[in-house]
């Protein structure tokens, strides 16, 4: 498989998860009204439950893929995605919809974990960061078009058709993966499916100092992003009065994020993932602090949008690079490492996102405060992993030569 098709396929897997989050944002009010949800903030659970369960489910697919291979795990996850999309489409109550969304998030979390694992099978170091940026750039097209797709469906049909379209798109991607996806797990790297070995390998990943600050830091930054996504429809659509323009504005911000990932892919091999991501994290904190001060004074839509877009651009430089740095030491246990890191990142990020979303008070103040706090926490964690020094460029083979071996080897 050539690089272009490889990037497109990995992005498609992750995009299915993004689609499950973003496509129904314009329909949250309609869904809650149709299913008779009393509390306006409860509509956020349609997104929040999916994210939290996706994080919980992330703990398992990597270890399974380390034994049986990447391909069967991917195909099983997409099949489940199709089936549960149809269950959501026919849900007769809000409770059943939340249960289906939770199970869907849990099982299909493999579509977040497996692209990370397959990418680590093929590349390492700054080359891996470059490929991850290209995947993220393609993936970011989905948040751009998904709300517009959901809004378009609502113009001609009911919200249930949104879930039907999700299932149809997943079916097309399943056929593509069935025909073209190769197995990337090296035979010598297969791990036994024993609880002691799986837990041991995950513990190896969690205890590696060079990695832990990066995936925990990524979780904090992602939590702030999820908090914004959870309340975006209320904040942009209702508080700032965007109304039916909400999908276009949300999509425009995603388009700028996609451009930032493209820029990262072009510069990361020249400057190094650490230098780029460290500079972006510092920028993220400064922009968040300025935005919080403006939010305290009261702001309008046209001051909120550019500053929030800048913050999201910094997230693009942070996310891809933090992910590649944190996975670098774990070639032989890439699946287990990717699983436990995705588990921590998604559970912590989704939980923080839900708390931030529920703190929504009709202004941008809770989101901006959360971004400053989460960014500062991420900086402290990175300093721990880097032993107090930022902006270093490190040769991965030398730096990770003493990385602990997999359990039982």
CATH code of the domain containing 341: 1.20.1250.20
Number of domains present in the structure of the chain:
1
Answer yes or no: is pLDDT of 7 > 50. yes
Cα 244 to Cα 270: distance, rounded to the nearest angstrom: 42
Nearest 5°: CA angle at 354, between 87 and 52? 50
Answer yes or no: is pLDDT of 408 > 50. no
- Average pLDDT rounded to a whole number, residues 273-277: 90
Give the range of the structural domain holding residue 43, as residue numbers without chain letter: 3-399
In a domain, 405, yes or no: no
3-state secondary structure the chain: CCHHHHHHHHHHHHHHHHHHHHCCHHHHHHHHHHCCCCCHHHHHHHHHHHHHHHHHHCCCHHHHHHHHCHHHHHHHHHHHHHHHHHHHHCCCCHHHHHHHHHHHHHHCCHHHHHHHHHHHHHCCHHHHHHHHHHHHHHHCHHHHHHHHHHHHHHHHCCCHHHHHHHHHHHHHHHHHHHHHCCCCCCHHHCCCCCHHHHHHHHHHHHHCHHHHHHHHHHHHHHHHHHHHHHHHHHHHHHHCCCHHHHHHHHHHHHHHHHHHHHHHHHHHHHHCHHHHHHHHHHHHHHHHHHHHHHHHHCCCHHHHHHHHHHHHHHHHHHHHHHHHHHHCCCCCCHHHHHHHHHHHHHHHHHHHHHHHHHCCCCCCHHHHHHHHHHHHHHHHHHHHHCCCCCCCCCCHHHHCCCCCCCCCC
Contact between 126 and 320 (Cβ < 8 Å): no
In a domain, 408, yes or no: no
Lowest mean pLDDT among 31-45, 66-80, 213-227: 31-45
Q: What secondary structure letter does DSSP report for 39?
A: S
In a domain, 409, yes or no: no
Closest CA to 18 of 161, 145, 176, 160: 145
Average pLDDT, the chain: 83
Lowest mean pLDDT among 76-90, 309-323, 335-349, 354-368: 335-349
In a domain, 340, yes or no: yes
- Average pLDDT rounded to a whole number, residues 62-89: 90
Closest CA to 210 of 58, 383, 63, 379: 383
pLDDT in the model for residue 191: 67
158 or 172: which leads in pLDDT: 172
In a domain, 44, yes or no: yes
Band (193; pLDDT cuts 50, 70, 90):
low
In a domain, 407, yes or no: no
- Average pLDDT rounded to a whole number, residues 344-354: 84
To the nearest whole percent, how much of the chain has pLDDT over 70? 90
Contact between 364 and 304 (Cβ < 8 Å): yes
pLDDT in the model for residue 392: 77
To the nearest whole percent, how much of the chain has pLDDT over 90? 27
Express each pLDDT in 278-322 by its tens digit.
Answer: 999 999 999 999 999 998 888 788 888 899 999 988 988 898 788
Answer yes or no: is pLDDT of 106 > 50. yes
Give the side-chain half-sphere CA count within 13 A for 173: 28
Answer yes or no: is pLDDT of 228 > 90. no
Answer yes or no: is pLDDT of 249 > 90. no
Band (397; pLDDT cuts 50, 70, 90):
very low
pLDDT in the model for residue 160: 93
Lowest mean pLDDT among 87-96, 121-130, 232-241, 270-279: 121-130
- Highest mean pLDDT, choosing among 52-56, 278-282, 312-316, 344-348: 278-282
Cα 389 to Cα 340: distance, rounded to the nearest angstrom: 26
- Average pLDDT rounded to a whole number, residues 363-381: 93
Closest CA to 337 of 326, 348, 346, 347: 326
- Average pLDDT rounded to a whole number, residues 134-144: 68
In a domain, 404, yes or no: no
Band (377; pLDDT cuts 50, 70, 90):
very high
In a domain, 222, yes or no: yes
pLDDT in the model for residue 382: 95
């Amino acid at each position: 498989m050539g690089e272009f098709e490889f990037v497109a396929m990995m992005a498609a897997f992750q995009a299915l998860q993004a689609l499950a989050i973003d496509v129904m944002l314009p329909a949250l009010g309609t869904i809650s009204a149709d299913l008779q949800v009393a509390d306006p903030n409860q509509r956020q659970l349609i997104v929040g439950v999916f994210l939290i369960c996706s994080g919980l489910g992330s703990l398992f697919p990597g270890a399974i893929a380390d034994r049986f291979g990447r391909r069967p795990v991917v195909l099983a996850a997409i099949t489940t995605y199709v089936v549960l999309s149809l269950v959501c489409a026919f849900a007769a109550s809000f409770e059943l919809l939340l249960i289906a969304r939770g199970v869907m998030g849990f099982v299909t979390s493999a579509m977040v974990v497996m692209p990370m694992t397959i990418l680590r099978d093929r590349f390492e170091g700054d080359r891996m960061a470059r490929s991850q940026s290209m995947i993220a750039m393609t993936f970011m097209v989905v948040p751009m078009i998904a709300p517009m797709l959901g809004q378009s469906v609502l113009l001609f049909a009911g919200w249930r058709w949104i879930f039907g379209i999700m299932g149809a798109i997943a079916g097309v991607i399943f056929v593509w993966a069935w025909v073209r996806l190769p197995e990337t797990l090296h035979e010598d790297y297969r791990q036994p499916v024993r609880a002691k070995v799986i837990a041991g390998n995950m513990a190896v990943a969690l205890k590696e100092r060079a990695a832990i600050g990066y995936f925990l830091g990524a979780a904090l930054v992602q939590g702030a992003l999820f908090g914004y996504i959870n309340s975006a429809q209320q904040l942009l659509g209702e508080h700032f009065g965007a109304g039916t323009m909400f999908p276009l504005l949300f999509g425009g911000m995603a388009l700028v994020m996609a451009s930032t990932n493209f820029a990262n892919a072009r510069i990361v091999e020249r400057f190094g993932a650490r230098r780029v991501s460290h500079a972006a994290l510092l920028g993220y904190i400064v922009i968040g602090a300025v935005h919080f001060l403006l939010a305290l004074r009261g702001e309008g839509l046209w001051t909120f949008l550019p500053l929030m877009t800048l913050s999201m651009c910094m997230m693009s430089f942070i996310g891809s690079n933090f992910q590649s740095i944190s996975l670098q030491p774990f070639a032989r246990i890439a699946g287990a490492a990717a699983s436990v890191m995705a588990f921590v990142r998604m559970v912590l990020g989704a939980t923080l996102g839900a708390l931030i979303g529920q703190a929504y008070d009709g202004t941008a103040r809770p989101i901006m405060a959360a971004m400053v706090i989460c960014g500062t926490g991420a900086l402290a964690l990175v300093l721990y992993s880097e032993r107090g020094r930022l902006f270093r460029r490190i040769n991965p083979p030398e730096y990770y030569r003493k990385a602990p071996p997999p359990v039982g080897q």
